[in-house]
Structure formats: structure tokens, C-alpha cells
Amino acid sequence: MRRTSLRATAGLAGISPGFLSELERGRANASIGTLRRIADALGLAVADLFSEDRPVEPTVVRRDARPEIPAAGGSRKYLLSQRPLRHFEAYAGEFDPGATTGDEAYVHGDAQELFLVISGSVRVELDGAGHDLQAGDSIEYSTTVPHRVVNTSDELAEVLWLISPPTT
């Protein structure tokens, strides 16, 4: 589900790939501490490790209750998708005039990212190439490509990021 290898997951959890393989096949048992490390490595709750077909309950997130993610000055980023992140993650963002995601382009994980401008206009820089977007425009790219966003207008810009699979 996370598109990660057994070896990578084991490394993040601080256990051997062999042990994780045995655990996965039901040939080994793990302590609660080990299960917590595995769940953390996968971005899950420990309970998610025990249920493959648990129904996903609808989650309402009110605008004023969105978790805020630290962002560069003049911009705000809010998590819309709730943990455990399963197939995608979604963020709403606001950029004051001239605000950016930061001075430097950044990368995160290896996923597909869709960026949509809700209002205003921004420039999305992908590996140094600029793409000017207006309200209603979108751009799609790999999160492995260095990227950054700049509000090029004199008004607030509202945006949406959709990322699959989750990179956090």
C-alpha cells in the first residue's frame, strides 16, 4: 500500500528485513514497541496493522480546525487528509502577495503531485523552469523534481496539493 520495500520499511523501523518478512508471514511475533516502530515507518496507527478491510469512516475537517503545517513567512499550509494517510495526502495553502514556499526548491519522497490554483495566480518552478498558473489551472509533476511556489500577484492566492502515494 505504501509502495515501499520490505528492506526500506525494516530499516525505518530499526529491525532486520528477515524478521519483518517472518512477521509478515505469521512465523514470528513482535513486541508492542516493535509494532509501533513498524506502524510509524508506514505512517499508520498500530491498529491499522491488524485490519486489512476495516471500513474507512467519513471524516469532516472544518476550515478552522485544519492542522497547520509550518510554512515560509507569508504562506500557510493546512493538512486536509487525516491520518492514517492511505492512498493520498491533500493540503490547502494560502500565499500572501509575494509569498513563497521558501527561497529554495525542495523535493519529498517519490510520488505524483497535482497542484491546483483555487484563486489568485502563482508561479510554480519545477527544476528551475517557471510555469505561471491562474485560478483553475493545475500542474502535475513528480515530487522528486525540485519545486517551489511563488505568489506573483497582488492578491491572496489559494491553492491545493494532492500527493499520491503519501510522502510524509
> Residue 79's domain is classified under what CATH number?
2.60.120.10
Cα(90)–Cα(79) distance, integer angstroms = 6
Residues 101 and 129 in one domain: yes
Q: Give the range of the structural domain holding residue 16, as residue numbers without chain letter.
A: 6-50
Task: Render pLDDT for 39-97 as a digit per residue (tens, 0 to 9).
Answer: 888 877 776 676 665 556 777 888 888 888 888 889 999 888 877 666 788 999 999 99
Residue 31 has what DSSP assignment? -
Residues 68 and 90 in one domain: yes
Residues 17 and 39 in one domain: yes
Beta-carbon count within 10 A of 51 CB: 8
Residues 136 and 92 in one domain: yes
Within a domain: residue 58?
no
Within a domain: residue 57?
no
Cα(125)–Cα(108) distance, integer angstroms = 15
Cα(168)–Cα(66) distance, integer angstroms = 17
Task: Render pLDDT for 90-122 as a digit per residue (tens, 0 to 9).
Answer: 999 999 999 999 999 999 888 899 999 999 999
